[in-house]
Amino acid sequence: RKLSEMWPGLKESQVFFLSTRKALRLGWILSDDFIKVLDGIDMLVQKSLDIQLETQYRKLTRLLSAALTHVNMQLNVAQQLHKEAKVTMGTTVRRVFKDARSEGDILKRLEPQSSDIKGFLDQLAMFHLTEMRKHEYDLDSIVGW
């Protein structure tokens, strides 16, 4: 009765009545009641270990499930970024080749003008060289030159 007051859900089948004087018989033989207590303790320890194992298993399952979800999310983000990078790279390559073709067209159109500019630069260089030669004799008259 006192135990039922302390633990409201306690059943009588869960309680063992045992006298310590009667636990052992003469010659160290265990009484039936004491064997019942030992079997109950064995069952209690096994059940406790099973519950702990199940609890740890559930916790690990939840943890691994959350980790797997996180890894899948990261993989999806990486795949999306990879797709975007491929699209951007393809666009860039197309633009570069388009610019290369248009650059060739521009150079072809400017080629006649570039030869005119080159000729003008050659004439300018000759003019400067001629002007420098006109004043060449004056350098000899400078003392210490």
pLDDT at 126: 80
Work out the number of other CB atoms within 10 angstroms of the CB of residue 11. 8
3-state SS class at 138: helix
Residue 88 tokens read as: 């951007």
**31, 25 contact by CB (below 8 A):** yes
pLDDT in tens, the chain (145 residues): 678 788 888 887 777 766 666 666 666 677 777 788 888 889 999 999 999 999 999 999 999 999 999 999 999 999 999 999 989 888 887 777 776 666 667 667 667 777 777 878 888 888 777 776 666 655 556 555 5
CA pair distance 13, 11, nearest whole angstrom: 5
Consecutive H or E run containing 29: strand 29-30
For residue 16, how far is the Cα from the chain centroid?
Answer: 58
pLDDT at 106: 64
CA pair distance 51, 10, nearest whole angstrom: 19
| 28 dihedral zone (left: phi>0; alpha: psi -120 to 50; beta) | left
CA pair distance 14, 7, nearest whole angstrom: 11
pLDDT at 79: 92
Measured over the CA atoms of residue 38, residue 44, residue 49 and residue 50, the dihedral's sign is positive
List, in sequence order, every residue forming a beta bridge with 60; answer none if it has no partner: none
3-state SS class at 25: strand
